Structures are given as structure tokens and as C-alpha cells.
Chain A
Amino acid sequence: MAEKPIQEEKKVFMTGNEVIAWAALAAGADIMYGYPITPQNEIMHYWTRLAPKYGKKFLQTEDELSAGFTTLGGVLAGRKSFSATAGPGTTLFQEPLSMAEMMRIPAVVIIQQRGGPSTATVIYSQQEVNMVTYGGNGEGWRVVYSTATHQELYDYTIKSFNTAWKYRFPTFVLGDGYQAKMREPLVMYNPEDRGIEMVDPVASVGLPGIPGKDRSAVHLRNTYSVEEELYDATMPIQEDYDRMAKEVVEWDERNIDDADVVIISHGVVSRAAIAAMNRLRDKGIKVGYFRPITLRPFPDEQLRKVAEKCSNFVLVESALGQLARLVKAALFNMPIEKFDAVYKPGVGITAEELVERIENALK
């Protein structure tokens, strides 16, 4: 038995992609399947260097369709399997992920968002929100954690394996090229040492015994003959999803109680939002902050509670309204004082511009 990748808690300073490779090891991932695309490449680079030392495996596939479907195969064989992609690769991943939703296959996929549409930039965006939350020909039966810091990349990569295997929905960690490539300090740890119980994987196929004799054969399908049969198969999945949603939904909110204006953001942009809030508070402007951490399931109720206290919103994202669509759906039918938006598709957002924007709006 290879020794544990992380022996004791340690402070490190590294890029986000390296963090994810270490976190996958710490989570007990067995195998990664992947296809090169910037800005996620270094996840594979670090994984292929680290994996053999700990008896783990890697397969470089012919494309992201294959990366997705081989990942599903790995899960069906009962191994903690994951992949990583971005941009056009995320597009190709929708097909395997829709199969995972239908057949309850707990695949874990890391998305490092790059500019879109099309090939666009290899650098950064928040433009894969639509696709990661509701892509594929289905109902969005996935869990999406949108991270903001390297510590979160570590924590939520570990958590994504547990969420996937506990609830059997495909699970995404949604980062971006900035998080992928920048260096930042964080603490790495062994999850068990912190009392985090890791959920063991279970095999769907290749169980012991002769099928039809010692046990029944496993027959897994995604095709149904008639409408009612499909309805009967899908409604329990939605019920499971709703039950799970209450347990996995996560958000962060600050300074809501006395707020005159609330900034809504997710992912790395929320760091600019926090900085802007603090600077404006120093100037006596009462700014609050709300950030969904799970984009699926979305913290609808939590956001509605915020809106009951303050509904003068400024929404900021590095996309043209992808987060806004989720937010507006959550706030449906509520009286809203103001909904200001800062949309910068594929471009970073600074605290300074938010400070200026909010100050001007309040003048």
C-alpha cells in the first residue's frame, strides 16, 4: 500500500491546477481520464507525475467525448474517477454528463473556465455557467461548486467526490483560468485527519458471483420505450435531487442586515466584491454581499431571504448574464428595488471599478 499523499497538515504556495491534483489524491481518486486543453492542462501534468507514486492511473483519451465516457466507465467499475476540461471541451462533456445524470453515475469533473464562445481565449471567463449548470439534453441534475480561492479549490475538490458518491449525481468544481494559473497559499490536509469521512466508491458492474445464478445480472439502460415509462424513471431522480439540494446547497453572505446595496457574484469575482464591500464600508456606505457557492442546486431560498431585507442589487460577473439568469429565476415574483449589473464577458473585474460604480450609483 502506497503511503498517504498528505501525511500532515501543511501550508503550501502553489497554482490552482496543482492544488486540484493534490486534492484529488487526498480524496482517494483512483484514475483520471483527460484530454489536453488550456487552462486545465497542469492538472493532468501534476496528476501524471504524482499518480504512479501512489498506485493511481491516468489515460489520455482521443477527445473530451472519450474523456467523459471513459470516466463514466471508471465509475461503473467502482473506482473514483475524474476528469478536467474547459471551454470547447466542456461543450463535448455535456453528452457523457447527460448519461451520468440519467444513469446516476457519480463522475467528478473539474472545469477551468476560459473565454467563450468558440475557442476565444485560453485565459479566463465565467461563461461556462449556463453549460455547467443546465447543459445537455436534461434537467440539470448535477452539483456545481463555484470556487473563489485555492483553499476552496482544495476543499471542494475533496468534497465533490463525497457529494458525487453519496448522492450519485455528477459533480463539477467550477474554477477558471485565473484560479488555475495563479499561485496562492493554502493549507493541505488529509480529509480523514479533519474528521471528514470519505465515501467509499461502489462498483455497478463486475460484482462477485455469476449473474443469473449467484445474483441477478446488472442491466443499466438510458433508453425507454414509451413516455410514461420515462416519466416513471425520471420523476424519482428529480425527487432525489430535491432531497439532496437541501443538504448540499452552499452560499456565503455578509453584512446583509443593515445593507443599502448588496453585491451578488460568484467564483473568483466574489473576491473583488468582498474587497469593494470592505472599502465602501470604510467610507460609511452600507454594502452587503451574497455569493452562491453551489450554482446547482442554487441557494434560491437564501437569496430570497436577502431580498426581503435589501433588494438593491449589483450583480457582477465575467459573462453576459449567465449568473444573472440563475439569480433572476431565484428571485421570481419578488419585489426588487433595483437590479444593476456589471457584465464583462471573459474579462476580470476589480474592486476599484466596483467601488466607483456603486459610489456613482448612490450619488
Chain B
Amino acid sequence: MAENLAMPKSWNVETKPHKFCPGCGHGLVLKVLGEVIDELGIQDRMVFGVDIGCSLLAWDFFNVDTVQTHHGRTNPVMVGIKRANPDLLPIAYMGDGGGYAIGSQHLVNSAFRNEKIMAIVVNNVNYGMTGGQMSPTTLPGQKTETSPYGRDPEETGNPTLGPEMVAAIASPGAYVARATVSNMKQLKRYMKKAVENLIAGNGFSFLEVISSCPTNWRTNAKQTWAFMEEDMAKYFKTGELRTPDESKEG
């Protein structure tokens, strides 16, 4: 895989190296987002909204107007911006806790209303920033600080399938997909299509990205990759679930 090692032009060089832990997937997602910002030339129209969670560390990541919001509240802030000034291109960036637990009502209703914003959920199957608690997407049997004997679906339900949920309630014009940082080419394709859908103003654009959190998983590089490509991939299928022209890539 030929990887582009150069920094995207839209990155804010003054804040690099970035603040994520070594091996963290957030950096990879933001690299791809940076490339897409460059390729589609949206630096001057985009507004980046970051949640509270490890996403907050990206508050000065890009040379893009950026607003740090509250835990779970990035979608409504971006919706408010878009409704007030439809020329802008708001992109909400959050974790699985922010998107599917505390902010789930905002995600569901943004999708229902087909808000012309884009939302990215970085799914690392735990609450990274607060030290590795169970999150809505924690896998059955997975040990976290608040599921020390492994997540028991009898007690705490099954992992949230975000894109599947959003796809089920989305309106025509929406774009819904799941990608993973372990397949950067696919991630780039989906990211670009999601942002293109945002620019076109067809409808809600939603992208979940399977991502790594070696710090809280307590995994080395090899184990991290294996957990994403095997354990997580079994549960969370990548692919496009909704596209504006309904031509899905499986």
C-alpha cells in the first residue's frame, strides 16, 4: 500500500506532532480527513466541531475554523451553524461514547431530519479519554475498567451498530458508511464520498471509523492491529450502507 507520508496542507503544522498517544487511530482518521479537505478545497467553508473525548485534542489540529463543544453535543452545534449559515460545511467529530451514548438523541434526530451536516464517529470500543470504561460499542466479553470481567450482553446489551441504525432511519440523499483505519484506501474513498455529499447538500453524511486505542486496550502494535482486524471486524462490517444514488459498495 503506497502511503502518502507528506502532511496534508490543511494541517496546522504548529500543533504537530499531534497530541494523540502513539498508535492511536485518531491521527490516521484526521490524516485522511486532511487529505480530503485539500483535494476538495473546502478549507475556507468547513467548520470542524470536536466533541469531548480524545477528539477534543484536535481542537487546533487543522487550519480550519474549529469549535470544541461538550461531550455528545457536537452534532447540535454543527446543526445550529448549518441552519444559520447554509454556505458553511460543518463536520462533527466524536467518539463512540459521544455519538452513541450521551449524544445518541442528537445523532438519531440529525439523521431523522436529514441535516445537511457530516458526522464522523471514531469507534474505539471504549471511553478513551476517561481511562477506558465500557462504551456502547464495547464487544461482548471485552474487558474494560467498568466491565472488568468482560462485557456481558445479558446485563448491558449488545454493541451499538451505529451506521446500521443511522441507515435504517436516514432519508434519501443520506450517505452512511463504516470504514476502518486498518484499510486506509477504503477509508479515504468513503471519507471523500461523505464530504462530497456534504458539499452537494444532499442529506446527512455519516461515517463511522473503526479505530485503535492501544493505551486503554493495553495492547502492543501487533495485538492492536489483530484486535481491529479480527475481533472488531467480525462484529463491525465495513462498507457503504446508504448512498445518495443508492449504488452501494459492499
Contact surface of A with B, Cβ cutoff 8 Å: 30-31, 33, 57, 59, 61-63, 65-66, 68-79, 81, 95-96, 99, 203-213, 216-223
Q: A217-B12, A222-B68 are in contact. List 20 more A-B contacts (CB 8 A).
A: A31-B83, A33-B80, A61-B76, A66-B109, A68-B76, A72-B77, A74-B81, A75-B84, A76-B47, A76-B67, A78-B84, A96-B73, A205-B66, A205-B88, A206-B47, A206-B88, A217-B62, A219-B60, A220-B66, A220-B68
Q: Do residues A210 and B83 form an inter-chain contact, with CB atoms below 8 A?
A: no
Does any Cβ of A come within 8 Å of B152's Cβ?
Answer: no
Give the docked Cα–Cα distance between A63 and B103 (Å). Answer: 11
User: Within residues 9 to 44 of chain B, which ones have a CB less than 8 A from any CB in chain A?
Assistant: 10, 12, 43-44
Does any Cβ of A come within 8 Å of B143's Cβ?
Answer: no
Closest to B117 in A: A73
Q: Do residues A66 and B76 form an inter-chain contact, with CB atoms below 8 A?
A: yes
A40 to chain B, nearest CB (A): 19
Closest to B47 in A: A205
Give the docked Cα–Cα distance between A33 and B59 (Å). Answer: 26
Give the docked Cα–Cα distance between A61 and B113 (Å). Answer: 10
Q: Do residues B80 and A71 form an inter-chain contact, with CB atoms below 8 A?
A: yes
Q: Do residues A211 and B109 form an inter-chain contact, with CB atoms below 8 A?
A: no
Q: With A30-B84, A31-B83, A217-B12 known to touch, is A70 a contact of B68 (CB < 8 Å)?
A: no
**Which residue of B59, B62, B80, B105 contacts A221 across the interface (Cβ within 8 Å)?**
B59
Residues of B with C-beta under 8 A to A208? 44
Give the docked Cα–Cα distance between A273 and B65 (Å). Answer: 51
Residues of A with C-beta under 8 A to B67? 76, 204-205, 220
Q: Do residues A212 and B12 form an inter-chain contact, with CB atoms below 8 A?
A: yes
Q: Do residues B73 and A79 form an inter-chain contact, with CB atoms below 8 A?
A: no
Residues of A with C-beta under 8 A to B80? 33, 59, 69-77, 81
Q: Do residues A69 and B81 form an inter-chain contact, with CB atoms below 8 A?
A: no
Give the docked Cα–Cα distance between A204 and B82 (Å). Answer: 13
**Which residue of B63, B64, B70, B88 contacts A77 across the interface (Cβ within 8 Å)?**
B88
Give the docked Cα–Cα distance between A70 and B106 (Å). Answer: 11
Closest to B43 in A: A210
Residues of B with C-beta under 8 A to A33? 80, 83
Contact surface of B with A, Cβ cutoff 8 Å: 10, 12, 43-45, 47, 52, 56, 59-60, 62-70, 73, 76-85, 87-88, 90, 105-106, 108-109
Q: Do residues A218 and B45 form an inter-chain contact, with CB atoms below 8 A?
A: no
B103 to chain A, nearest CB (A): 9
Q: Do residues B43 and A211 form an inter-chain contact, with CB atoms below 8 A?
A: yes
10 closest Cβ pairs, A-B complex: A73-B80, A212-B63, A70-B80, A69-B76, A62-B109, A74-B84, A205-B65, A77-B84, A79-B84, A73-B81
**Which residue of B45, B56, B59 contacts A206 across the interface (Cβ within 8 Å)?**
B45
**Which residue of A63, A74, A217 contacts B105 across the interface (Cβ within 8 Å)?**
A63
Q: Do residues B68 and A73 form an inter-chain contact, with CB atoms below 8 A?
A: no
Residues of B with C-beta under 8 A to A30? 84
Give the docked Cα–Cα distance between A155 and B229 (Å). Answer: 62
Q: Do residues B44 and A209 form an inter-chain contact, with CB atoms below 8 A?
A: yes
Q: Do residues A223 and B56 form an inter-chain contact, with CB atoms below 8 A?
A: yes
Q: Do residues A210 and B69 form an inter-chain contact, with CB atoms below 8 A?
A: no
Q: Do residues A211 and B63 form an inter-chain contact, with CB atoms below 8 A?
A: yes
Give the docked Cα–Cα distance between A79 and B47 (Å). Answer: 15
Give the docked Cα–Cα distance between A216 and B12 (Å). Answer: 10
Q: Do residues A211 and B64 form an inter-chain contact, with CB atoms below 8 A?
A: yes
Give the docked Cα–Cα distance between A196 and B34 (Å). Answer: 46
B67 to chain A, nearest CB (A): 5
Q: Do residues A69 and B70 form an inter-chain contact, with CB atoms below 8 A?
A: yes
Residues of B with C-beta under 8 A to A211? 43-44, 62-65
B127 to chain A, nearest CB (A): 16
Closest to A68 in B: B76
Closest to A33 in B: B80
26 A-B contacts (beta carbon < 8 Å): A30-B84, A61-B109, A62-B106, A66-B76, A69-B77, A70-B80, A71-B80, A72-B77, A76-B67, A77-B81, A77-B88, A79-B85, A95-B70, A205-B65, A206-B45, A210-B44, A211-B64, A212-B43, A212-B63, A217-B12, A217-B60, A217-B63, A219-B65, A221-B68, A222-B68, A223-B52
Q: With A207-B65, A217-B63, A217-B65 known to touch, is A73 a contact of B79 (CB < 8 Å)?
A: yes
Give the docked Cα–Cα distance between A219 and B63 (Å). Answer: 9
